[in-house]
Amino acid sequence: PVIFPVLWINQSFNMVPSPCGGHLTGSNGVILPPGWPGYYKDSLNCEWVIEARPGHSIKITFDRFQTEVNYDTLEVRDGPANSSPLIGEYHGTQAPQFLISTGNYMYLLFTTDNSRSSIGFLIHYESKSEISLIDFYLKY
Ligand SMILES: [Ca+2]
């Protein structure tokens, strides 16, 4: 059966209907590449900045990840800009389960070349205060 992303739309989610990039300030939400739930487009250069409240950290969780190996890459940085420290570059099916920022910003850049695409990714993010992060580390 085909499950549409409508499932994720509710009051507590800041639903992003797959635009190419954006500045996200909600306390949680979803990031999808343009084209979702189909294949993403060629020649993308999509930049997302997640901004949490000062003193909060951001956790992104990879619910799904699949891109063209070597050519279609998601870059994640620990800060607000493409000059912030690199956390990792992911392509193919290699992606971590989740990542946590040290500060209240996270930067994501999805670039694709001009041929061959794939499903892309479904990432959800949430921001937490340091206290609830400690709780998170203790539990898992
Ligand atoms: Ca490609």
Q: How many A from CA of 56 to the centre of ligand 1?
A: 35
1 part of a folded domain: no
Q: How many A from CA of 44 to the centre of ligand 1?
A: 9
14 part of a folded domain: no
pLDDT of 18: 78
Q: How many A from CA of 32 to the centre of ligand 1?
A: 16
**Domain with 89 in it: what CATH number?**
2.60.120.290
pLDDT of 131: 59
Q: How many A from CA of 128 to the centre of ligand 1?
A: 34
* DSSP-assigned states of every residue in 17-56: ---S-EEE-SSEEEE--TTTTSPPPSS-EEEEEEEPPTTE
3 part of a folded domain: no
10 part of a folded domain: no
Contacts of 127 (CB under 8 A, 6+ apart): 27, 28, 50, 52, 53, 56, 57, 58, 59, 104
Q: How many A from CA of 34 to the centre of ligand 1?
A: 13
Each residue's pLDDT, cut to its tens digit, for the chain (140 residues) gives: 555 554 444 444 445 457 999 999 999 999 999 998 899 999 999 999 999 999 999 999 999 999 999 999 999 999 999 999 999 999 999 999 999 999 999 999 999 999 999 999 999 999 988 656 666 666 65
Q: How many A from CA of 110 to the centre of ligand 1?
A: 11
8 part of a folded domain: no
pTM of the model: 0.82
Task: Write the DSSP symbol of residue 79.
Answer: S
105 part of a folded domain: yes
β-pairing, 22-24 vs 45-51, is parallel
Host domain of residue 57: 22-139
* Total domains, the chain: 1
